[in-house]
Amino acid sequence: MATLSLRLSPPIPTRTFRPIVASSNGTLLGVASSRPRSTGGPVIKEIPLEEIRRPLMRTRANDQNKVKELMDSIRVIGLQVPIDVLEVDGVYYGFSGCHRYEAHQRLGLPTIRCKVRRGTKETLRHHLR
């Protein structure tokens, strides 16, 4: 009778892989964390331009040379530093990053990478003062 020998191989070490998050132009945004995200800190998000309210936009003129330089650079290497955005009750407000925002608009890009912080109506009032 044939003897059946069973060889038990050592357990294969398991590795966990964390997905790499990249934007549409291939720029590395970061490595997704397997830990639950903390609720308080800023998060990096691609947000459609038209979803960002810019209450001070009409009162501040952008330097068109800067915008042009940013357009040339963003076209080649993508946005390297996200713009700061405040989120209040699910609505996004942008008060800075005006040149980067206009460069995206003029390039016809649908979204812009943002660093989103949550705030209250009081934070918003403070920005509008």
User: Least distance (Å) from ligand ADP to the CB of residue 69?
Assistant: 7
Query: Interface with ligand ADP includes 32 (CB under 6 A)?
Result: no
Q: Under a CB-based contact definition with an 8 Å cutoff, are residues 101 and 107 in contact?
A: no
* Among 50-58, 86-94, 97-105, 117-125, the segment contacting ligand ADP (CB under 6 A): 97-105
Instruction: Report the C-alpha gap between 50 and 46 in whole angstroms.
Output: 12
Query: Interface with ligand ADP includes 107 (CB under 6 A)?
Result: no
Query: Interface with ligand ADP includes 70 (CB under 6 A)?
Result: yes
Nearer to ligand ADP, 33 or 63 (CB): 63
- CA-closest candidate to residue 100, choices 77, 82, 119: 82
Instruction: Report the C-alpha gap between 68 and 107 in whole angstroms.
Output: 10
